Structure 1
Amino acid sequence: MRPPKKAKDRSEPDLDRELTDLPPELRWREWMRRIEAVLFASAAPVAREDLGRVVGQGVSIDLLIEDLAADLEGRAFEIAQVAGGWMFRTRTAYAPAIRAAADMGDQLLDLSEFDVAVLAAIAYHQPITRDGLKDIFGKEISRDLLGRLHARDLIGIGPRAPRRGAPYTFVTTDAFLAAFGMESLRDLPDPEQLGDAGLAARA
């Protein structure tokens, strides 16, 4: 699993991180707003290390995030901890409004039930080969389907399997975690729940 994307090492000579000229309460508020700005500008989860570059040395990112989350109570979006970092996401209650107002054809909402089932199988059994997926579903999984999931960055190529021919394996990505609102694979639901919903196909 790839770690969250991190900014390139670079100095920030024009950014006053410590804000010693401000009183403590205003300093804290400014750090919160900086984190808000960074999360707002990023389409991917932002790692703790990157957020630490815009606040004072030794300042608790977790406490700043907690206070910012409290500020967002009652808003249509929230801060989510996913894939080892943080990002803004729309609250689930507003998903119908988004679908009604916007073309979501290229988003996850357009995945078929079988696509989600294949993603679930990869998530639970990774790294897994096409033959492994065939064993689970009882049929070949098309290269086209796997290519579509790969093009959306929901799956990636894992290590080669240690057997004759050394076939490629498939693994899920940080984009998969972010798309499904998970911090790590430990947040995957119980496989039996997916089976009851018809999404796991013996995953």
Structure 2
Amino acid sequence: MSDTYTRRVEAVLFAAAEPLRAEDIRSYAGDGDLGAALADLAAHYGARGVQLVERGGRWLFQTAPDLADILRRTREEPKKLSRAALETLAIIAYHEPATRAEIEDIRGVAINKGTLDVLMEAGWVRPAGRRETPGRPLQYASTPAFLAHFGLASRRDLPGIAELKAAGLLEALAGDTISDAPLETVAQAG
């Protein structure tokens, strides 16, 4: 890790107040083999107390997962989200961009405006423009802070139905038609 460019990239990431995209890193560190520098740094910090990780296309140093409990004692515990807020967050994450009407349709109940406000204040949800339909409803999407908080590199890392059922988070309903089989298998059976 003695390469000058790698050291510049390390300094930029270390001093950053928030996670940085590759183009942001380049704007400070200059031109060089950024991919190789990030790989070298990730390998160098892999077994250390802090690690270099990519979350939502942004790079940051974070505490090693096995040491996180050491810091929890000194950190203020965040307020727990209501069930409505958790359901709303999940719907937005899995169906983004989603409108208020779509969220209400999936949940089966009206959503309190305060619920979306809490999620936006937490930095996990953001307005994502307006849908080009009558009434032009506002759409909502998840943020890189949501991905970072839940340790996801991208939305593709969200658990699937089989994983949620295995964790006991989804109860099988009588007459449940959701299949755990791959889509190709389901399509061939039909």
Q: TM-score range by the shorter chain?
A: 0.7 to 0.9
The residue that corresponds to 1:198 in the other structure is 169
Deviation at 1:151? 1.5
Task: Please give the TM-score of this superposition, normalised by the length of structure 2.
Answer: 0.75
Secondary structure of the structure 2 residue equivalent to 1:71: helix
| Pairing 1:157-168 to 2, within 5 Å after superposition | 157-168=127-138
Q: Deviations over 1:40-85 (max 9, x none)?
A: 222322121222245463x211211121122213322211112222
CA contact (8 A) 1:83 1:177 kept: yes
Q: Tell me which of 147, 150, 153 is aligned to 2:120.
A: 150
Over aligned residues, Cα RMSD in angstroms?
2.7
CA-CA distance at 1:140 after TM superposition: 1.8
2:58 paired with 1:85? yes
Distance 1:142 1:61, change over 3 A: same
Runs of 4 or more consecutive aligned structure 1 residues displaced over 4 Å after TM superposition:
none
1:115: which partner in 2? Answer: 85
SS in 1 for 2:136: coil
2:5 is equivalent to residue 31 of structure 1: yes
> Are 1:158 and 1:171, in contact at CA under 8 Å, matched by a contact in 2?
yes
The SS at the match of 2:137 is: coil
Q: Secondary structure at the match of 1:101?
A: coil
Any stretches of 5+ residues in structure 1 without a counterpart? 1-24
Q: 69, 73, 77: which is aligned to 1:96?
A: 69
Which residue in the other structure is 1:45 paired with? 19
Residue of structure 2 equivalent to 1:73: 46
Is the CA contact 1:122–1:171 (under 8 Å) kept in the aligned structure 2? yes
Shift of 1:147: 0.2
Deviation per CA, 1:96-120: give whole Å up to 9, x if none. 22222221326xxx44555333212
Q: Letter of the aligned partner of 1:86 in structure 2?
A: W
Identify if the C-alpha distance between structure 1 residues 55 and 156 changes in structure 2 by more than 3 Å, giving closer, same or farther.
closer
CA contact (8 A) 1:45 1:178 kept: no
Q: Any stretches of 5+ residues in structure 2 without a counterpart?
A: 171-190
Q: Is the 8 A contact 2:84 2:115 kept in 1?
A: no
Identity percentage over the alignment? 34
d(CA) in 1 for partners of 2:126 and 2:37? 33
Distance 2:149 2:112 in 1: 22
**Which residue of 1 is the match for residue 188 of structure 2?**
none
Q: How far is the alpha carbon of 1:198 from its aligned partner?
A: 2.8
Describe the shift of the 1:41–1:191 C-alpha distance in structure 2 as closer, same or farther (beyond 3 A): farther
Residue 169 of structure 2 aligns with an amino acid whose one-letter code is G
The question of 1:171 aligning with 2:144 is answered no
**Relative contact order, CA 8 A, sep 6+: which one is greater?**
1
- Shift of residue 142 of structure 1? 1.5
Structure 2 CA distance, aligned partners of 1:148 and 1:40?
30
Structure 2 CA distance for partners of 1:35 and 1:111, relative to 1, 3 Å: farther
